[in-house]
Structure 1
Amino acid sequence: MQLPVVIIGSGFAGYQLAREFRQLDNQTPVIIVTADNGDDYSKPLISHGFSRRLSADAMIQKRCDALAEELAITILPNTRITSLNAQNKTVSYGDEIIAYRDLVLATGAEAAIPPVRGDGTTQILTLNSLQEYRHASKTIVDKQRVLVIGTGLIGTEIALDLSLANKEVWLVGMTEQLMGHLLPDFISRELQQRFQSSGCQVMTGLTVVELTQSDSGLRVTLSDDRVIEVDAAIAATGLRPRTALANAAGLRINRGICVDACLQTSSPHIYALGDGAEISGTLLPYLQPIALSAKALAKTLAGNRTDVVIPAMPVIIKTPVMPIQLSGETSGAHLSWLVEHTDNGMIAKAYIHEDKMVGYVVTDKQIAQGFSLLAQLRATA
């Protein structure tokens, strides 16, 4: 009996790996075990669903059973793996045991909830899965005032999307500027000004201290003692890799599940990829690095051990008031910038040495210049 490749997790990472592996090997059994219903959906749409009035079902690209048939794999939906025995090469759920040839942990990450006191904390919504979006969209549909906690990439996109859906939005974050880990201050300031002009209230350098339920909704106390009243609150303060299963099995854990360049964990025949995998000390929770990881791991599982190579890749920030593309090093006092302002947006190139471009940011219609700049960046890497 041929032992299967078992993948735990049915997010983008798990399904992309199954697709890539099936192109190389159509004989080895593949089993995907997932705690949700297994439907394949576009996760990036979640940050833009409110303004488009998208239902959760409208985001589904393929149902679980149809995908299983298409890829000739077995999918076990609504099933949670409870134990992993690396020595025996088995995983268990309930009274069932699955023996594997190779195991892939594509368990992803969960939304991190900031430390906030008060009885309103149980009402904080998150948007890290289709199920969470389904719940949040039903909760928010008749609400007008919404607090978004977190001024990073996802929080910023969600806040603007809600504003475009004609909600009254407050965006609050502890960083001193929007997406400070990604953007230089001069672009972040411009983005914040456009947010304010669109009607979204941006409050940087602040945290939410307390959230309490009131007769009119939720009472929010900020770290500068300001108090605002909202109807709903969404946390977008980052992700926490799901490492409990790997940790219990004795695999090496740091911020995520530690893997080498071939995505192998500290145990033979166990691999990890996606939001929960820490590749050579780095977490890369973006679709393009995950897609490259899936392609490389598929080759390894098919018998051709392959390192993951992550070149300079573009990050696209979907904020309609100011579309942005960037890549490379784009934040930090050590950078010097050559900035061109045009009627169609900005072209900003980051340098460490005068002759070596290490990053770029382009905005608005100048995004079209991003791909040539990306090629230059890759050529000098």
Structure 2
Amino acid sequence: MKPSTKPIVIIGTGLAGYNLAKELRKIDTNTPLVLVTQDDGHFYSKPQLSTAFFYGKNPKELIITDVNTMQTQLDATIYTHTSVCDIDSKMQKISLDSPSGQHEIEYRDLVLALGASPKPFPLLAQHPRNYRINNRLDFAHFEEQLAHIEHLCIIGSGLVGCEFAHDFVKKVKQISLITIDPQPLHNLVPEQVGKALQRALENSGITFYTNARIESISSSAEKVALTLNSQDNLIADAVLTAIGLAPNCDLAKKAGIQTSEGIVVDSSLKTNQPHIYALGDCAQINGICRQYVAPILQSARALAQTLTTQIPCAVSFPPTPISLKVQTYPVIVMPPSQKGQWQFESDGEGIKALFMDDEGNLKGYALGGKAVEQRQECLKSFMQAQQNVCLTA
């Protein structure tokens, strides 16, 4: 392959990989484009996995665009069910293991959009009744088991754990949510909002075990028995683990690319190896992993500029609210990044919490229940407060 025809190669066809490819094609329709994925390559929205059961969607209905259409729209070559065995950064090529055999591809620039995997719960790591839903195939596998599950234990009370608990409440007879924290969304929202969310989920039929640690596990082929530090004994048909995500870094480490919590990149998403970049859930951008949709979209736009102009374009992340998709008690939060204190307004149906600094400037907010109807007003006030601080700085 001549240097002028070397492609941009993207490893991964999740939200990060496909959105980067779309942004590239908006600017450059000529440079060859190759995407490599271990799965079937159909485009779907991963955040929908934690709400799809509630809305009665099956795995096929999650597909937004099939892989053949994506290949045509992007004018790209997409290798499906293909693993990347090795990255040779000096020769600028990757080694692939595909259904048709092993071969190599040279690249002009390489982008790692490897995503992240659910953190394992050590005591349950190898148990056949332990599930993690991280992609559409996981979703399909769990859906097949649902008819046999009467009692589901969910470990973790972050966004994903709460959304799954809400999602399955109409599908499963009994749901127990186990968390080491004192209330759900402990590290994201103030206690009052977390407690209100917990009450709403409990009213829908979910049992919470807070400040809980799993002391021991015993099992048979069909059941899992969990003993908690409270001496509660739970016998479940299945356990769903939702205790956070760990960036997929193994391929990068093997190639000599710097990693820490994630794949280490600078503000232009460049790694320590020439012509290799990373974005999405696998990337640690200036020391921070940003595993939300908005940063992925912002990263894709910036990296497309860098790759097409060959001039580093720094990605910026304007403040973006985080949403909990739970109908019984929706939550929207703009996490504060400075010192201050929460101020609360509550009317019984919702809570509005404003985070104010010592000078009375709005630095964050959390809305729960009916108060989410004030999200536009709060976002406007927040952005105005940031502008005022910039003007007086």
TM-score bracket, normalised by the shorter chain, equals over 0.9
Partner of 1:326: 333
Moved more, 295-304 or 9-18: 295-304
**What is the Cα deviation at residue 343 of structure 1?**
5.5
Partner of 2:308: 302
Partner of 1:139: 145
Normalised TM-score (structure 2): 0.92
**What is the Cα deviation at residue 344 of structure 1?**
5.0
Per-residue CA distance 1:257-287 (angstroms, 9 max, x = gap): 0000010011121100000000111111101
Mapping of 1:102-117 within 5 angstroms? 102-116=109-123
Partner of 1:149: 155
**Aligned equivalents of 1:216 and 1:74: distance in 2?**
44
**Paired residue secondary structure (1:202):** strand
**What is the Cα deviation at residue 177 of structure 1?**
1.5
Partner of 2:246: 240
| Matched length | 378
**Aligned equivalents of 1:194 and 1:344: distance in 2?**
10
**What is the Cα deviation at residue 193 of structure 1?**
1.2
Matched, 1:92 2:95: yes
- The CA RMSD over aligned residues, in Å, is 1.8
**What is the Cα deviation at residue 38 of structure 1?**
0.5
Distance 1:73 1:13, change over 3 A: same
Letter in 2 for 1:59: L
Structure 1: 5+ residue stretches without partners:
none
Mapping of 1:221-236 within 5 angstroms? 221-236=227-242
Q: Is the 8 A contact 2:189 2:335 kept in 1?
A: no
**What is the Cα deviation at residue 93 of structure 1?**
1.3
Aligned pair partner of 1:365 in 364, 370, 377: 370
The percent of aligned pairs where both chains have the same amino acid is: 31
Distance 1:343 1:207, change over 3 A: closer
Per-residue CA distance 1:278-331 (angstroms, 9 max, x = gap): 01111111011100110111111111431110011010111111111111318x
**Paired residue secondary structure (1:353):** coil
Structure 2: 5+ residue stretches without partners:
387-393
Matched, 1:5 2:12: no
Partner of 1:48: 51
**Aligned equivalents of 1:79 and 1:25: distance in 2?**
26
**What is the Cα deviation at residue 211 of structure 1?**
3.1
**Aligned equivalents of 1:87 and 1:60: distance in 2?**
37
**What is the Cα deviation at residue 144 of structure 1?**
1.4
Mapping of 1:249-264 within 5 angstroms? 249-264=255-270
Partner of 1:192: 198
Aligned pair partner of 1:210 in 210, 216, 237: 216
Q: Is the 8 A contact 2:303 2:313 kept in 1?
A: yes
Per-residue CA distance 1:47-100 (angstroms, 9 max, x = gap): 112222321111011111111011111100000001001111111114311110
**Paired residue secondary structure (2:257):** coil
**What is the Cα deviation at residue 129 of structure 1?**
0.6
Partner of 1:374: 379
**Aligned equivalents of 1:343 and 1:174: distance in 2?**
27
Partner of 2:70: 67
Matched, 1:350 2:343: no
Partner of 2:179: 173
Per-residue CA distance 1:116-152 (angstroms, 9 max, x = gap): 1697x23210011111111111112331110001111
